[in-house]
Amino acid sequence: MRRKLAAVIMLLVMAGVAWAADMVVITAKGKKYHRPNCRTVKQFVKELTVDEARQLGYKPCKVCKP
Ligand SMILES: [Zn+2]
């Protein structure tokens, strides 16, 4: 039972990492892009890829290191 749970958690973590790897969010006022789960982001205005964020002149957040 416990082993099965660990396997499920592992899958979720891996899916989460794959998803978080190239999708980032930006906020209304900030000039940084963040992972969607960054603790400094309370509300984001747009979800985009890292490449798009860079092209728009955003820099990576130092807290969540996207
Ligand atoms: Zn952040």
Residue 10 domain-assigned? Answer: no
Ligand 1 center from residue 50 Cα (angstroms): 13
Ligand 1 center from residue 15 Cα (angstroms): 20
Ligand 1 center from residue 20 Cα (angstroms): 12
Residue 54 domain-assigned? Answer: yes
Ligand 1 center from residue 1 Cα (angstroms): 36
Residue 16 domain-assigned? Answer: no
Number of domains in the chain: 1
**Digitized pLDDT (tens) for each residue of the chain, 66 residues in all:** 678 999 998 888 877 665 655 889 999 999 999 999 999 999 999 999 999 999 999 999 999 999
Residue 65 domain-assigned? Answer: yes
Residue 30 domain-assigned? Answer: yes
pLDDT number for residue 3: 85
pTM: 0.66
Residue 26 domain-assigned? Answer: yes
Ligand 1 center from residue 5 Cα (angstroms): 30
Q: Taking a C-beta distance cutoff of 8 angstroms, is the pair 3, 14 a contact?
A: no
Residue 52 domain-assigned? Answer: yes
Judging by beta carbons within 10 Å of its beta carbon (0-12, 13-18, 19+), is residue 60 exposed, middle or buried?
middle
SS3 53: helix
